[in-house]
Amino acid sequence: MPPIMVFNQSDFLYDAIWTEQIDNMFIDLLVDQTMLGNFQVGGNNDHTLEVLRWIINIQFQVDLSQLDVMRHVKKLQKHHRVFAWLVGMAGVLCDAATNTIIGLPFVWDHICKEQPFAYAYMSEGDPKWRELQIISMDMTAQGEQKMLEHVIDIPSSDEEMDMIMAENYQNNLLPAIEGILFYDLSSGDNDEEVLNAQVLP
């Protein structure tokens, strides 16, 4: 029996400080700065992030610190890393229209045991997937092609879906189930991103 979620996607993506509204505005601002060349993964982004922190604090009357902003950027990069991992994974399908990941129950069981953050995407796609790709510099032709290779339109009938899932299972999942499919997505840092997922048996 697959694990039963006892939380919503918002439990993973947002918190008391980084609400959905603040998160959306911050991501949109970060995308703008990325397109302007003022934000680069691995670059010195201190000035850009300080300006964005000031804008968010003024707009929402909050008091985010520089450390708050840096940690959130790191969390957004983890969102991208986990969802990109799911999109490219053998044994699942991705609805191109909604970025929703579709997999058999036992597949999700293995996925979530390997990467608990994947629970965030069991029923809903990432609401800012395209923006996260831009922020993470994953908009190259090679990156787009890799994503498109694993993204298909949802079949029009349950029978067609069953056939596709069965074929995917036979060709891709079985050879990978012993460990090839899964790898560590953690950042390696001992920070506050670790999620203690509460799952019912």
Total count of domains within the chain:
1
Q: Give residue-wise pLDDT tens across range 13-50.
A: 999 999 999 999 999 999 999 999 899 888 889 999 99
**196, part of any domain:** no
By C-alpha distance, which of 187, 185, 195 is closest to 70?
Answer: 187
Q: What is the mean predicted confidence (pLDDT) over 135-139?
A: 68
**192, part of any domain:** no
Lowest mean pLDDT among 1-15, 55-69, 70-84, 182-196: 182-196
Name residue 129's beta-bridge partners.
none
**38, part of any domain:** yes
- pTM for the full model? 0.66
**70, part of any domain:** yes
